[in-house]
Amino acid sequence: MRRLISKFLLIAMLTVSGEALGLCNTLPALALKLPNSVETALREALQIERIRLDGAIETKAGELYLPLLPISKISTKKIFLKAVFPAKDAPDFLLFDNGWCYVKVLVLGHDQTILALDELPVHLRKSLISAQFPSDLIVPEHFFVEPSLKSIVNNLAVTIKRLPTKDSGKPKHSGEVSSSYKNGEQTDEHINKEPCILITSPATGKVSLLSFPELIKIIEFPTEGTPSGIAFALNKVYIADQSKSRILKLDPYRRAFLGQITLPKRSTPKDVAALPSGKLVYISENLFNDVAVIESAAGDKLLSRTKVNNYPGRMAISPNGKLLLVLSVPDGKVSLLSTQDQRYLGVVKVGSLPNGIAISADSHIAYVSNRVSNTVSVLDLIHQTVVNSIQTGAGPTGVAVDSDKEHLYVANAKDNSIGVYNTKTFKKIDEIKLPIELDFPGSLTLLPDKIHMLVSSESTDAVGMLNIESSKFEKIVSVGHNSDLCLWIPALE
C-alpha cells in the first residue's frame, strides 16, 4: 500500500513540475497546471486559501470556484483576465483571453449545489459553453447542472437536471425552459437581444437555439412532439407540432415557451408561414386539406380556413406578401392562395414528391425541388404555370435563391452536394461537395448578409455555415441531433 501511495505522489509531483523534468508527454496528467499569468490574475481577484490539484480554487471565505478549459485551443501569447461578472469585488464568473473560465459554486440548500450563473450575459455564456470541466475534476457533493449546460460536463459523473423553483411542483407546458433565475425563483428580466438561429429536429422532438455567428448551442427545448415547420412573427416563433396537432409559441429572446395554439385532433400541422409584417400566420393542416389563418396581431385568433389541394405540407410566402404557395407532396402539386382575401387561386402541377420552395426577391418566380423526379420546377407566379424544369443531382431537398447574384442553390441529399445554377440560363455553374459531417443535406437557409448559408443534415448531428462566395464551409458544428429546418432570428430592436 505504501508503495502505491508513494508512486501516486511521485506521479503527481512529476506532473506539476513536468515542464522542468521534460516528462509531461510521458506521464498521465493527474494535476491541472495553471499558467502563471492565470494564477496571478486569480490571486488578484480572489482571496485564495488554496489551489487544488484539479485546478479548483478554495477561497478564505470558504467559496469554491471550478475551472473550465476551452474545447478548442485559443492562440494567445500573453494571458490576461478578459471579463469578470457581475463585479470585480464579488465575482461569480471569470474569463481569461485563452478561453479558461472559473465559476463559483452556489449552495441552494437541501444539499444541492450548482454553478452561480444567474443572469450571465449571452456573450459570456457563449464562452462558458465553449469550455468543459477538466477530466480529473473533483465534483462537489450534490452538484448538478441544467440541461442547457450539459456540454460542459465532459465525461464526469455530474447530474443533469433543471433548476428547482417554487413552482416546480406545478405542471408546466411541455418543453418549457426558463431563461433566468434569481434566488431559486424564475424571473422574466433577462432578455437576449442578439440574433440567433433556431433549428428543428422532428426525429428527436427537439428544437435548439444557436448563437450567431458562432453557432454555439445555447439551449435545447424538448417538445415531446414532432416539431416540423417554423415561422417568425412579431418577435415570436411559431412551431408546427404535427404529432400533437398544435402550434407551439416560443419567445427566442427570453428563451421560454409562451404556450400553444390547440388545433383540432388529427389535423396534423406540417408547416407554418408568416406574412412579412407578421400580422398573419398560416398553418397547413395536412389531414384536413386546408390552410388555417391565424391573426397573430390579435392574440392568435383563428381568422379563417381555406381549402387547398390534398395533403398540404411545406409552404412559402412571396417576399411582397401577396401570395402563399403550398406543396401537396403525394399529388406533386402546388396550391396558390391569395393573402389579400385568403382565397384559393388554383393549383400547378410540378414534379414527383415536391420538397422545398424558394421565391425570387421580385416575387415573380418560384423554385420547387422534386425529390423523386430529381428536378426543380420553375414557376411563373404571375401566369401561374411551370416555365422550365432544371435537372439536378439525386434527391433534391432544400432550395435557396439569391436574386442579386442570379444564383439558385439546390441541396442534393443522395449526392451529398449543393448544385449552383444560373437563374437566367438555368445552367449549372458549380457543384459544392459536402463534408461527411453534413451527410444527406436537408434545408438551405440564405442569411441576410447574402454571403452565408446554413445547411442542415437529416442523418448527422451537425449544422454547417457555408460561405457562398468562396464555396467553403466556415463552420460545421455538432448540435447533438439531426436537423430539418433552420430559422434566422433577427436582433431584438
Q: Tell me: pLDDT of 10 over 80.
A: no
Mean pLDDT computed over 437-456: 95
Phi first, then psi, for residue 283 (nearest 5°) are: -125, 125
For domain 196-489, give the fold. Answer: Methylamine Dehydrogenase; Chain H (2.130.10)
Mean pLDDT for all residues in the chain: 86
pLDDT on residue 29: 39
3-state secondary structure the chain: CHHHHHHHHHHHHHHHCHHHHCCCCCCCCCCCCCCHHHHHHHHHHCCEEEECCCCCEEECCCCEEEEEEECCCCCCCCCCEEEEECCCCCCCEEEECCCCEEEEEEEEECCEEEECCCCCCHHHHHHHHCEECCCCCCCCCCEEECHHHHHHCCCCCCEECCCCCCCCCCCCCCCCCCCEEECCEEECCCCCCCCEEEEEECCCCEEEEEECCCCCEEEEEECCCCEEEEEEECCEEEEEECCCCEEEEEECCCCEEEEEEECCCCCCEEEEEECCCCCEEEEEEHHHCEEEEEEHHHCCEEEEEEECCCCEEEEEECCCCCEEEEEECCCCEEEEEECCCCCEEEEEECCCCEEEEEECCCCCEEEEEECCCCEEEEEECCCCEEEEEEECCCCEEEEEEECCCCEEEEEECCCCEEEEEECCCCCEEEEEECCHHHCCEEEEEECCCCCEEEEEECCCCEEEEEECCCCEEEEEEECCCCCCCEEEECCCC
Cross-strand bridge partners of residue 186: 181
Calpha distance 301→295 (Å, rounded): 5
Pick the more confident residue, 148 or 438.
438
What are the tens digits of pLDDT across the range 341-382?
999 999 999 999 999 999 999 999 999 999 999 999 999 999
Question: For the chain, what are the domain ranges?
Answer: 32-160, 196-489
Q: Tell me: pLDDT of 180 over 60.
A: no
What are the tens digits of pLDDT across the range 454-478?
999 999 999 999 999 999 999 999 8
Percent of the chain with pLDDT over 90: 62
pLDDT on residue 107: 79
Q: Tell me: pLDDT of 165 over 90.
A: no
pLDDT on residue 31: 61
Of 25-29, 301-305, 327-331, 429-433, least confident by mean pLDDT is 25-29
What are the tens digits of pLDDT across the range 201-229?
999 999 999 999 989 888 888 888 999 99
- Give the amino acid at 446: L
Mean pLDDT computed over 400-408: 96
What are the tens digits of pLDDT across the range 118-157?
677 777 888 898 899 998 898 988 888 888 788 899 888 8
Give the up-direction half-sphere exposure of residue 203: CA atoms within 13 A in the CB hemisphere: 11
Mean pLDDT computed over 228-242: 96
Mean pLDDT computed over 81-88: 86
| pTM assigned to the model | 0.66
Of 3-12, 80-89, 446-455, least confident by mean pLDDT is 3-12
Q: Tell me: pLDDT of 241 over 90.
A: yes
Calpha distance 477→172 (Å, rounded): 31
pLDDT band at 12 (very low <50, low <70, confident <90, very high): very low
Distances (CA, A) of 63 to 90, 136, 156: 11, 20, 21
